[in-house]
Structure 1
Amino acid sequence: MLQQSTAHLVRGAALAGSLALLPLATGCGGGEDATAEKSTPTPTAVTAAPAAGVVAPAKVEVIAGLTGCTAKIRIEADELRQGVCHTEEADYTITTFPEERLKDTWLESAGVYGGKYLVGSRWVVSAQPKLLERLRTELGGTIQQLG
């Protein structure tokens, strides 16, 4: 019961934070200003993939489509969405996040388990290492070793 209450508090806090920042994000124009010059770049470098033709963040369904599969959504939450792709080559998961900081938190937690992940702007693909390089050419992002 305590874990469930804690999870609800975390979700509520994440939702409240998201809603508080929404007017700021939607109110910003494309022009540059003094605050833009002071912002720190995100530590994750994202490379555009020629096959993708888009730079994520994107929805689970869009990323899955770029890899040639139709994802089955298995987690639908405020903090993330996760879908599973089943292909002849391998199974893999695609996780998207509404904010970069939620992705960073997820990666910190996944670091306990180790492994390699394909990481983009507000998305992560979990797959066997041999598949990650092919997916990187289709999606962009960087392959990160955790743990």
Structure 2
Amino acid sequence: MKPHMTRPAWRVGTACGGLLLALCAGCGGERASGGDSAATSAAPRSMSIEQLGAELDCEPQRRGKAADYRQAICAAPSGKYLLNTFESGRAQNDWLEHSKMYGGTYLVGHRWIVVSKPELLSSLRGQVGGRLVNAGKSG
């Protein structure tokens, strides 16, 4: 019988791979203190990978599409970003919960998450809204 990954294991593996790529590219930023930040902006709008790329002035390079989310790398003039869009709020919450174990800072909007350096996310937040989430690395 051929071994296979379950859906949650595949999701964690893909999230881990994307985050490791971002960290290796210098996008991990500082280690955050943990928990959600209190800072939120006006209600963020739903956006596609292409719309997020347009806001960043970059051409997203897709990394793949799972049943419930899409992921792309974007090298903008301001820096590098990992862009994620989700089919549902549940898929987004699952991805975020699994990704928090790796630490980092995320800009979380309506069915999208952007990973980059905290200062880049703060600037992008002024353009697209969302809330900054700081995830402390566990372990």
Structure 2 length-normalised TM = 0.68
Q: 1:92 aligns with which of 81, 87, 90?
A: 81
Q: For structure 2, which runs of at least 5 residues remain unmatched after alignment?
A: 12-39
Preserved CA contact (<8 Å) 2:58 2:77: no
Correspondence for 1:7: 7
Deviation at 1:132, TM superposition (A): 0.7
Correspondence for 1:82: 71
Deviation at 1:114, TM superposition (A): 1.1
Deviation at 1:46, TM superposition (A): 5.9
Residues 46 and 121 of structure 1: CA distance in aligned 2, closer, same or farther (over 3 Å): farther
Q: Percent identity?
A: 33
Paired residue secondary structure (1:108): helix
Structure 1 length-normalised TM = 0.65
Letter in 1 for 2:7: A
Question: Runs of 4 or more off by more than 4 Å in structure 1?
Answer: none
Correspondence for 1:109: 98
Q: For structure 1, which runs of at least 5 residues remain unmatched after alignment?
A: 12-44, 49-54
Instruction: State which structure, 1 or 2, has the greater radius of gyration over its C-alpha atoms.
Output: 1
Q: Deviations along 1:55-108, whole A, 9 cap, x unmatched?
A: 422210111112211111112121110111112331111100000011000010
Deviation at 1:146, TM superposition (A): 1.4
* Pairs aligned (count): 106
Distance between the aligned counterparts of 2:83 and 2:101, measured in 1? 19
**Mapping 1:1-147, distance limit 5 Å:** 1-4=2-5, 6-7=6-7, 47-48=42-43, 55-147=44-136
More strand by share: 2
Higher RCO structure (Cα 8 Å, ≥6 apart):
2
